[in-house]
Structure 1
Amino acid sequence: MTVSINNTIIAPNTPSELPVSPGAGVYSTSLNDTVSNAFKRSLQPLGAIKPKGNDKHLSTLLENSKAVFKVTTNTVAMHLLSPEWRNLLFKQVDSLLELEEWHEDDKPIISGSSLTFVRMLIFLKARRPGLAATSDGNLVATWTTGDNRLTIICKPNDWIRWVVSTKTDAGCETAAGQTKIVRLPMVLEAYSPQQWFSDGGR
């Protein structure tokens, strides 16, 4: 799910267009469904999701989530990511966690997901991704280069779930899996991951 700071959609395809490799099996299909549901939330027009009930309580939760993300980022990456780089990232998070964009049944971003996300960016030396979130409070990072897309769900304790959608001579191909941050470059090696991670923008 790819959302820019100004709420412009930059993903080339809608979630329903994600193909599933015949050899990927049920796990890949299930993981694609998770990512697709997250995409659908980001593709709704600004203000389409209206919180119900106690707006003040939800607003407090979202503000706390923003603060936790920023403290985590500054603590872990203060000397590794430039202030300008971090400020642009914070603007993305502020936009993602706007009250008008959030459903009351969805969890704000959990701290364990924020930590995994920041550690992943540092380890991969990656450029800033598009951001979204799952309904259970995990950050979703996406990178798109041409027709090729990488989507990563950041789970606590350095666990990540990934989906790759690439265009090959034989057509579109999708692969998915789960791994730890340190193994991600090896897992993605066949897909030329530098197409998504180069130009860290520091």
Structure 2
Amino acid sequence: MEMQPISEFTQLVRYQPSLEWLDRSGPKVRSNDDLFHGVAGPGIVPAAVETRQSVEETLFVASADAKIWMSKVAMKLDMGVRERLFRQLDMLHDAEEWMDDGKPIRLESFQSLVRSILVHRIRSNPALALMPNGNVLALWNSEFARLSVEFLPCDKVRWAVHSKSEVNEERAAGMTSLIRLREVLTPYSGGAWFDGG
């Protein structure tokens, strides 16, 4: 039986950087040589088997990552705020209520939320929701007005205000840096939203 030469594809793949990442799932593959051991010619090249986490595992990991990060700044947060955020994280990642097409919380978005609580000394308790992309959405409601703030990565926020009175209805929206959020919301009673007034 005559051995066929190694195909160009196999040669290219064989000399690529190490495939150490394959070590996490399936058979123990420690290097390219292990992956192609015994390959003498063209044929089926073994592929990495992708292991998928269950929904419960994915939600648990996302929630745990957020809680671990928050524990690093916990000493700067009021105990009540910490406990509320922990509860809200658990509610946001409730596997029984989870929509199949939803994405778990983005850590960078959660970090922006916590930093805004610290920077603006937010004492009110907004409702939290997750956007389809995993960003945190904070919602403040009063009888005649509503404020929603989407916390984006890199300390950016997208906000929208809707207010009604007997003579007027007003809507405003924008995007700004986390640092300027209170200032930008000043014409719309920004302090009242954050201070619980």
**TM superposition score normalised by structure 1:** 0.67
Residue 30 of structure 2 is matched in structure 1 by none
Residue 185 of structure 1 is matched in structure 2 by 182
Percent sequence identity over matched residues?
A: 34
- Counterpart CA distance in 1 for 2:184 and 2:81 is 27
Runs (4+) of structure 1 exceeding 6 A deviation are none
1:155-196 superposed Cα distances (whole Å, 9 cap, x missing partner): 100011001011245322111111110111121110111221
Residue 155 of structure 2 is matched in structure 1 by 158
Q: Is the 8 A contact 1:72 1:114 kept in 2?
A: no
Output the amino acid matched with 2:126: P
Output the amino acid matched with 2:63: K
Q: Higher relative contact order at CA 8 Å, sep ≥6: structure 1 or structure 2?
A: 1
Residue 92 of structure 2 is matched in structure 1 by 96
How many residue pairs end up in the alignment?
Answer: 146
Q: Is the 8 A contact 1:112 1:157 kept in 2?
A: yes
Residue 81 of structure 1 is matched in structure 2 by 77
Instruction: Specify every segment of 5 or more residues in structure 1 that has no aligned partner in the other structure, as ranges.
Output: 1-54
Q: Is the 8 A contact 1:163 1:175 kept in 2?
A: yes
- Counterpart CA distance in 1 for 2:54 and 2:194 is 37
Residue 8 of structure 2 is matched in structure 1 by none
- Cα distance, 1:81 vs structure 2: 1.4
Residue 63 of structure 1 is matched in structure 2 by 60
Output the amino acid matched with 1:162: W
Question: 1:188 is paired with a residue of what secondary structure?
Answer: helix
Instruction: Specify every segment of 5 or more residues in structure 2 that has no aligned partner in the other structure, as ranges.
Output: 1-51
- Counterpart CA distance in 2 for 1:165 and 1:79 is 35
**TM superposition score normalised by structure 2:** 0.68
Q: Is the 8 A contact 1:89 1:128 kept in 2?
A: no
- Counterpart CA distance in 1 for 2:178 and 2:158 is 10
Residue 8 of structure 1 is matched in structure 2 by none
* Higher gyration radius (CA): 2
Please give the root-mean-square deviation of Cα atoms over the aligned residues, in Å. 2.0
